[in-house]
Amino acid sequence: MTRAYNFCAGPATLPVEVLEQARDEMLDWQGRGLSVMEMSHRSEAFVSIAEQAEQDLRELMGIPDDYAVLFMQGGASSQFSAVPLNLAGPNDAVDYVNTGVWSKKAIAEGKRFADLSVVASSEEDGYTHVPDPSTWQLRSNARYVHVTPNETIGGLAYSRFPDIGSVPLVADWSSAILSEPVDVSRFGMIYAGAQKNIGPAGLTLVIVRRELLGNAQASTPAMLDYQVAHKADSMYNTPPTYSWYLAGLVFQWLKRQGGLDAIKAINDRKAQKLYGFIDQSDFYANPIQPEFRSRMNVPFTLADDRLNDEFLKGATARGLLNLNGHRSVGGMRASIYNAMPEAGVDALIEYMAGFEKEKG
């Protein structure tokens, strides 16, 4: 069997060990005679899978007891509406920072449900930096401040988070969750679509301080109401059981790697290698100010756009898949999430060097 290196931004590559375990357990999960996909979500077997996944996630991220962990559906995009619906009234102030395409989507949706203000933006410089928190025009009556710690398309990441006092910080961590340790207590809420560092698409993780629950706008659909999900142990309706199970296997894999400190060290090394190579080259370029470069998504351009197709074709032929940039920005992008082995980054750099030598 040959496995390619898949640099897709999401759904993204998963750890081989996880896929192998899922394969081995596919027809008969732990002697029960059925696959996880076929289990009732109310069965003792599935409830044990679900509880173990939550426990492992809490351990990995050090999630304090006063936070609820919700396994929801609808992707991070559903959270763009769920966040204001749950955490603010229709006339309440909510503050957003605009650092890229995903912030902008959250802003467009949030505007429909609250009095939203964009308190800082780096749009005018092409999203190549995160606006300095000292410049954010925060409103003291805001119900929360929304940030996007890792912009998947632009390859832009926060290098630090401001202390904003008692106003909850809400983070769309879809593309960098679990890539490094995080002090959860500094955030009112963290959410993430699963299909990058967590598991298969279909599952959305919500980590929210319990005291923020229970004040959803009256019109909030039950499926988006955190309190409803919390009271039902994330089983108000049928949850995405197989995605939940696979996420649990990924959490166990992460624990075997040594947890988030260990995975951060590997992620740092992978990113340094790739950016280091791009920076020493006259042929490849990355526009992001070094302090704000994402360690998960590395966009880069070729000196001559006309070579893009040939670059991608050659890469695919070598088993280096999905290096094309997002359709909205073009160029290239290598997503190097937790599950991308260091050997994959090495193989990419070797290919890029050879291509440059030939065409540069």
Q: Which residues bind ligand PMP (CB under 6 A)?
A: 10, 75-77, 102, 148, 152, 172, 174-175, 193
Is 102 an annotated catalytic residue?
A: yes
Is 196 an annotated catalytic residue?
A: yes
Is 264 an annotated catalytic residue?
A: no
- Closest to ligand PMP by CB, 197 vs 286, is 197
What is the DSSP-derived secondary structure letter of residue 290?
G
Provide, rounded to whole angstroms, the least separation between the CB of residue 9 and ligand PMP.
6
User: Tokens representing 127?
Assistant: 């999203």
Provide, rounded to whole angstroms, the least separation between the CB of residue 303 and ligand PMP.
28
β-partners of residue 201 are none
d(CA 326, CA 346): 23
- Closest to ligand PMP by CB, 80 vs 277, is 80
Provide, rounded to whole angstroms, the least separation between the CB of residue 102 and ligand PMP.
4
The active-site residue out of 56, 95, 115, 196 is: 196
Residue pair 81/221 in contact (Cβ under 8 Å)? The answer is no
What is the per-residue DSSP string for 186-233?
G-SEEEEESTTTTSSTT-EEEEEEGGGTT---TT--GGG-HHHHHHTT
Provide, rounded to whole angstroms, the least separation between the CB of residue 121 and ligand PMP.
16
- Closest to ligand PMP by CB, 329 vs 347, is 329
- Which residue's structure tokens are 């955190």? 226
Which of 87, 184, 262 has the alpha carbon at shortest distance from 192?
Answer: 184
The active-site residue out of 102, 173, 244, 253 is: 102
Exposure letters 256-291 (e unless 16+ CB within 10 A, then b): ebebbeebbebbeebbebbbebbeebebbebbbeee
- Closest to ligand PMP by CB, 86 vs 152, is 152
Phi-psi sector, 177: left (phi>0), alpha (psi -120 to 50), beta: beta
Residue type, 112: R
Residue pair 202/245 in contact (Cβ under 8 Å)? The answer is no
Provide, rounded to whole angstroms, the least separation between the CB of residue 190 and ligand PMP.
12
- Closest to ligand PMP by CB, 72 vs 94, is 72
Provide, rounded to whole angstroms, the least separation between the CB of residue 209 and ligand PMP.
21
- Closest to ligand PMP by CB, 122 vs 152, is 152
d(CA 61, CA 251): 10
**Beta strand pairing status for 189-193 and 169-172?**
parallel
The active-site residue out of 172, 173, 225, 253 is: 172
Residue number with the smallest Cβ distance to ligand PMP: 75
Which of 231, 202, 224 has the alpha carbon at shortest distance from 82?
Answer: 224
- Closest to ligand PMP by CB, 153 vs 302, is 153
Provide, rounded to whole angstroms, the least separation between the CB of residue 191 and ligand PMP.
9
Kindly list the catalytic residues: 102, 172, 196
